[in-house]
């Protein structure tokens, strides 16, 4: 390397202008070094940060590849080949992640540490020395000026000595500071080369080490593996291209074939009506009444399933039963100046649905399909098969979860040898008996021969009804719970939660130990609804407070039912269909066979049933804590009152003792005889003498009583 330019340290004491000029050149060079190394430090810091991010990203990629087999993709299925391949990739990438981590450590030690030391220590030292040098130079100039202004006429030895001492001190300090400053600037010429070369050397050595480590890990086996994977990827790409060409051709064919179907009302000559269909599906507009004379039309997807007409809205996971089309009547109608409308009426005439198709062809096909299904069911099948299929379809329609029936078939006991009751129809279902619960008796959960209440009704007399109408009272629950408007005791309640629910039914039960009784009640109520074609449900608002549960009419805001929170003994939601929930409560109607009457209520909600059960549980906990706090505060008040009363009695007793003592003292003083002296004067006893005499008299009386 060429020679290094240095500042002459031996000329620091003289401090000539030439030396100062040379110092300015070195200071300018120092500023350039500082600026350059700041940029270089930022660049190397970016390399180091990028390497750290690459190491972390590689490690995360390896972790995600290892967790691939734990993922459950709806359409992926269990691809063992892909899982094993990704596990091998995860192993290789994990090794690469370890190599990257080693590289990050080497970069931190060999590259970032030297340049950071140069930047934070050496350059900062130059800046500090420059400031100290400037201060020392200013102090030396000030001392020289004071020394130069000494007067030769009026010489003051004291002032002269002080000024000379000041010049001596400042010149010494300036000289030493200048020498250290010049030495640091000279050393900086060497340090800048070291600080520039050492980080680069460390960077290159770290990279070489990383590549050597990678070449040792990536053996020929991995190269063969990567070659095989590349071939597989090319095969998958060729298969994808082939499928893409097939799909493009299919799309083109469908576009050409579907062009006549784009018209909402195609020409019947172009697209003829098919009157031999036994299945039909498509979008229809259904008419819903919103008032006495007003109505609204909703677009839904309708389809036929067996002997039922089903509908399904977008976003629903399953369809719901619209109507049983067994032996129904269907015909075209005119409705609200809308075209292509037809009406379906049930066989008993109690239920009718008005639907609107998109075209005349669609309308005629729907009418023909429903007629064909109704005729086929009526002529070709016996009544028992019809009832079994209708009941099963209706039960599936009420309960959208496909595993609901299978779930509750396990709770059905064997019904062989049991006499038929009035509710025997609710026990029929499709599926095998559960051997695990074959010993479970239905009578142990549900009371036998008890009716099922499907609606919130009030069997009150006309007198009571008229009074309720005049007073604005609500209905009365036949199970003993009052449904009239209650006092607003829950206005100050901590918990107020409102849920939209639909009442499915209730029935008397026996067991209240676990949630099986609620599941069995759900199964029987839904089965009975399906068998008897009862699909109308009463919608209410369920208000959960810390005092009670209320069912409120959403239109009139009248309380239909009110249950005390203490009477709720069990609450649970269905494990499969989360929208179903129920609770068991002990009514105030008395006892039957020595036990309280318990009734199980079943509801369907728009929300998750578990949330409602959690809300009820939270309300019971809050009520329990409030009751415990109330009892504790009442007990504390009683203890305080007893303590106050005890203090008062003690005070009275002390006062009585004090009064008795004072009274006995007065009596004793008044009963003492008057002693006279020989000269006829009265002799008055002192207090001590009188007390001694009193004690003596009391002792004498005590002795006489003992004798």
DSSP 205-237: HHHHHHHHHHHHHS-HHHHHHHHHHHHHHHHHH
| Residue 176 binned pLDDT confidence (cut-offs 50, 70, 90) | very high
pLDDT for position 375: 64
Whether the CB-CB separation of 600 and 506 falls below 8 Å is answered with yes
Which of 179-193, 267-281, 315-329, 672-686 shows the highest mean pLDDT?
Answer: 179-193
Q: For 192-234, write each residue's pLDDT tens digit.
A: 888 889 899 999 999 998 888 877 777 777 788 888 888 888 9
Does pLDDT of 694 surpass 70?
Answer: no
Tell me which residue of 474, 470, 494, 477 sits closest to 486, measured CA to CA.
474
Residue 420 has pLDDT above 80, yes or no: no
> Taking phi first (over 0 means left), then psi (-120 to 50 degrees means alpha), and beta for anything else, what does residue 594 get?
left
pLDDT at residue 179 in the model = 92
pLDDT in tens, 587-611: 765 565 666 788 899 999 877 888 8
Among 416-430, 634-648, 681-695, the range scoring the smallest mean pLDDT is: 416-430
Question: CA–CA separation, 354 vs 352, rounded Å?
Answer: 7
For residues 246-270, average pLDDT? 83
What pLDDT, on the 0 to 100 scale, is given for residue 528?
84
pTM: 0.39
Using the predicted structure, report yes or no on whether residue 434 has a pLDDT greater than 60.
Answer: no
In percent, how much of the chain has pLDDT > 70? 77
pLDDT band at 16 (very low <50, low <70, confident <90, very high): confident
Quickly list DSSP for 380-444: HS-HHHHHHHHHHHHHHHH---TTHHHHHHTTPPP-TTPPP-TTGGGG--SSPPPGGGTT--GGG
> Which is more confidently placed, 540 or 691?
540
Picking from 129-138, 180-189, 298-307, 553-562, which range would have the lowest pLDDT averaged per residue?
553-562
Average pLDDT over residues 692-705: 49
Mean pLDDT of the chain: 77
Cα separation, 547 vs 490, in Å, equals 7
Q: Let me know if 363 is exposed, middle or buried by CB neighbors in 10 A (0-12, 13-18, 19+).
A: buried
Residue 593 has a pLDDT of 61
* pLDDT at site 113: 92
pLDDT, residue 444, reads 57
How large is the average pLDDT for residues 351-366? 90
* Eight-class DSSP state of 121: I
pLDDT score, position 675:
46
Q: What is the dihedral of CA 288, 292, 293, 299, to 10 degrees?
A: -10
Q: What is the per-residue pLDDT across 661-671, written as a single tens digit (0 to 9) for each?
A: 888 888 888 87
In contact, 316 and 248? CB cutoff 8 Å: no
Residue 435, pLDDT > 90, answer no
Cross-sheet strand order for the sheet of 308-312 = 320-324, 308-312, 295-305, 281-289, 352-356, 338-345, 329-335
Q: Which positions ≥6 away from 374 have C-beta within 8 Å?
A: 307, 325, 326, 327, 328, 330
pLDDT at 402 over 60: no
Label residue 352 by pLDDT band (50, 70, 90). Answer: confident
Residue 294 has pLDDT above 90, yes or no: no
- Higher pLDDT among residues 511 and 380, named by residue: 511
For residue 460, is pLDDT > 70? no
Q: Which pLDDT score is estimated for 243? A: 92
- With cut-offs at 50, 70 and 90, classify the pLDDT of residue 69: confident
Mean pLDDT across 318-327: 84
Q: What is the pLDDT of residue 496?
A: 80
CA atoms within 13 A on the CB side of 676: 4
For the chain, the first-to-last Cα distance in angstroms comes to 136
pLDDT digits (tens, 9 = 90+) for 490-516: 445 677 888 888 888 888 887 777 888
78 vs 288, residue with greater confidence: 288
584 closest CA partner among 602, 562, 608: 602
**Of 650, 641, 694, which is closest to residue 671 (Cα–Cα)?**
694
Is a pLDDT exceeding 50 seen at residue 396? Answer: no
State the Cα–Cα distance between residues 440 and 490, nearest whole angstrom.
41
Please report the pLDDT score of residue 46 as a whole number. 92
């Amino acid at each position: 390397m060429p020679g290094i330019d240095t500042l002459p340290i031996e000329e620091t004491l003289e401090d000539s202008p030439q030396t100062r000029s040379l110092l300015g050149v070195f200071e300018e060079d120092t500023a350039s070094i500082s600026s350059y190394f700041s940029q270089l430090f930022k660049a190397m810091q970016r390399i180091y940060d990028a390497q750290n991010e690459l190491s972390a990203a590689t490690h995360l990629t390896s972790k995600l590849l290892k967790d691939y087999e734990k993922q459950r993709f709806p359409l992926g299925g269990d691809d063992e080949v892909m899982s094993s391949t990704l596990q091998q990739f995860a192993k290789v990438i994990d090794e690469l992640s370890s190599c990257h981590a080693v590289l990050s450590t080497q970069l931190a030690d060999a590259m970032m540490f030297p340049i950071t030391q140069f930047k934070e220590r050496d350059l900062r030292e130059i800046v500090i020395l420059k400031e100290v040098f400037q201060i020392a130079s200013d102090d030396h100039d000030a001392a020289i000026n004071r020394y130069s202004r000494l007067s030769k006429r009026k010489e003051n030895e004291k002032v002269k000595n002080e000024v000379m001492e000041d010049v001596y001190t400042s010149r010494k300090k300036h000289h030493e500071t200048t020498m250290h400053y010049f030495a640091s600037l000279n050393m900086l010429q060497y340090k800048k080369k070291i600080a520039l070369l050492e980080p680069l050397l460390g960077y290159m050595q770290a990279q070489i080490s990383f590549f050597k480590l990678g070449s040792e890990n990536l053996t020929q086996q991995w190269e063969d593996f990567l070659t095989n994977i590349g071939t597989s990827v090319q095969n998958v790409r060729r298969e994808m291209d082939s499928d893409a060409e097939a799909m493009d051709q299919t799309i083109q064919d469908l576009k050409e074939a579907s062009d006549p179907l784009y018209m909402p009302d195609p020409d019947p000559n172009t697209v003829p009506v098919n009157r031999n269909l036994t299945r039909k599906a498509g979008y229809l507009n259904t008419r819903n009444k919103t008032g006495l004379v007003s109505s609204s039309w909703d677009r839904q997807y309708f389809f036929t399933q067996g002997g039922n007409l089903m509908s399904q809205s977008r976003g629903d996971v399953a369809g719901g039963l619209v109507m049983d089309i067994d032996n129904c009547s269907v015909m075209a109608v005119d409705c609200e100046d809308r075209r292509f409308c037809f009406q379906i009426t049930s066989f008993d005439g109690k239920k009718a649905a008005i639907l609107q198709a998109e075209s005349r062809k669609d309308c005629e096909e729907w009418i023909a399909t429903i007629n064909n299904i109704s005729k086929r069911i009526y002529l070709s099948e016996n009544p028992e098969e019809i009832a079994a299929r209708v009941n099963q379809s209706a039960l599936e329609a009420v309960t959208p979860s496909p595993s609901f029936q299978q779930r509750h078939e396990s709770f059905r006991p064997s019904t062989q040898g049991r006499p038929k009751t009035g509710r025997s129809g609710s026990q029929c279902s499709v599926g095998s008996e559960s051997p695990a619960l074959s010993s479970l008796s239905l009578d142990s959960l549900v009371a036998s021969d008890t009716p099922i209440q499907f609606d919130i009704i009030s069997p009150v007399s006309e007198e009571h009804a008229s009074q309720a109408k005049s007073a604005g009272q609500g209905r009365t629950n036949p199970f003993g719970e009052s449904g009239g408007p209650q006092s607003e005791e829950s206005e100050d309640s901590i918990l107020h939660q409102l849920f939209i629910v639909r009442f499915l039914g209730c029935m008397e039960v026996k067991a209240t130990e676990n949630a099986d009784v609620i599941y069995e009640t759900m199964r029987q109520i839904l089965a009975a609804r399906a068998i008897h074609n009862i699909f109308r449900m009463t919608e209410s608002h369920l208000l959960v407070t810390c005092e009670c549960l209320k069912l409120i009419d959403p239109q009139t805001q009248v309380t239909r039912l009110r249950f005390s929170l203490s009477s709720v003994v069990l609450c649970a939601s269905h494990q499969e269909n989360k929208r179903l929930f129920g609770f068991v409560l002990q009514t105030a109607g008395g006892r039957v066979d020595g036990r309280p009457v318990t009734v199980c209520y079943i509801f369907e909600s728009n929300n998750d049933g578990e949330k409602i059960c959690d809300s009820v549980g939270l309300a019971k906990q809050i009520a329990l804590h409030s009751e415990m706090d109330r009892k504790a505060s009442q007990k504390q008040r009683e203890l305080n009152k007893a303590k106050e009363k005890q203090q008062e009695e003690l005070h009275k007793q002390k006062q009585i003792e004090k009064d008795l003592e004072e009274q006995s003292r007065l009596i004793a003083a008044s009963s003492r005889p008057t002693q006279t002296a020989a000269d006829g004067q009265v002799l008055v006893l002192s207090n001590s003498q009188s007390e001694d005499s009193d004690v003596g008299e009391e002792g004498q009386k005590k002795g006489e009583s003992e004798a």
